[in-house]
Structure 1
């Protein structure tokens, strides 16, 4: 009901603004979905790589005496532990980068929306086709509709 009523209000004020919100929220949803999807895969990799690293640590601990006896094997085991730790660390850094990118995008998405209604409606106001109150009405309707359309981005 909220979406339909505010869509009707916004469309009545200026159909171009309604089209702008549909395009803006659609593009935002596509970008956020792509960033979020890659984050799911990275988190799954994190579980696997951390489990592999823990397994290698436990195996090294259980065989510590034999590893210490063979000096060359100690350096091989140390190298294997560092390799697995590097995989865990590089995956964690990839997760952090992806989360940062997603957060930068969603923050920008929320801030840009503050000026879109004014930019689209301002020419009508300066041409004296609408009154000042209509701008705030359009802004309010725009934000309600965007909140409904942007459910994926806000989650």
Structure 2
């Protein structure tokens, strides 16, 4: 069974979200049922996925291969320095290695959206140390 949200564009995801929201009566109609809350949660998740797809496309369009590689290198250097300072679960080290390897493979094959997706993951992981003095140098 395939997940349709991974192969559709942001506009289609937003249309599906609007369709789900249209099936829920207004809040003034009374308390929400579990089904209505579930439909609204699914609509919110579809909108979030649409936003993420747009963000990935924008990063890929705005950044050429070398710019993207530079951003990934800065984020990895920041995370590697934080991993050296703090005790972190070894699975995170493996996840970081896989993300970097996948990003480099994407860049080597000019698949900028895949590399941009990994960059977003690196940025999300770096947010744990957003109060660090080097954070904004690495994540820009």
Normalization by structure 2: what TM-score? 0.28
- Greater Rg by CA: 1
Normalization by structure 1: what TM-score? 0.26
Higher relative contact order (CA 8 A, sep 6+): 1
